Structure 1
Amino acid sequence: MTYVVTEACIRCKYMDCVSVCPVDCFYEGANMLVIKPDECIDCGVCEPECPANAILADTVAEAAPWLALNAEMAAIWPSIREKREPPPDADTWKDVAGKRALHFSRAPGGREAQGR
């Protein structure tokens, strides 16, 4: 079993999960995070930390379509090991459904990409 980041993270990217992960298995895209399945130790400490409820166990049906995306993006996005501030409009996007089709970006994240 592993945990995956789902659509709810898109445009929110709160990063509370990053600060509790004992194995640094989060990777950062321009507007969301993902978990590298091969690095996740299934501890589950990240799941309750996410204000957007974007992290699910891969055994949950809603997580299935996100498992491959997490693995794919973790292979090309940079690792993130420390929590930073979320985007200023994160709360606006927190409960918006259907974000993947219009707002998902394959672009990598990180301080350089965000001009921080």
Structure 2
Amino acid sequence: MRFTCRPLRAAQARDTAAAFLATLQPAPPAYTEENLFLLVSELVTNALRHAGGVTALRLTADRRTLQVRVEDPSPAHPQDRTPDLTGQTGGFGWPMVQRLARTVSVHTKPKGGKVILATLPR
């Protein structure tokens, strides 16, 4: 199963994730669905805030994994930074992505931009 879209807001990406999950048989456990929503929201929000937008969001599934692929126009890789405990500048999202996903990889695209691929166990 594969879904592709180009969300302009994190809410659109979450709606796409919900539609994607509704097609899966058997449905993943609730905690996997929640983790997928968090990954999609965070990766899309980061692309919108820091990378100039989302050029593609692809959600795929096989028997063992769910995959979130977010493409954006910036070649800059995500950076770890000290979280701002005052809530002003963030810094929590990228570490959260790395903890939630089984694997996370970042690839620079030959014609510019990058792809972030995160996988979850199904």
Q: TM-score, normalised by structure 1?
A: 0.31
Higher relative contact order (CA 8 A, sep 6+): 1
Greater Rg, structure 1 or structure 2?
2
Q: TM-score, normalised by structure 2?
A: 0.30
More strand by share: 2
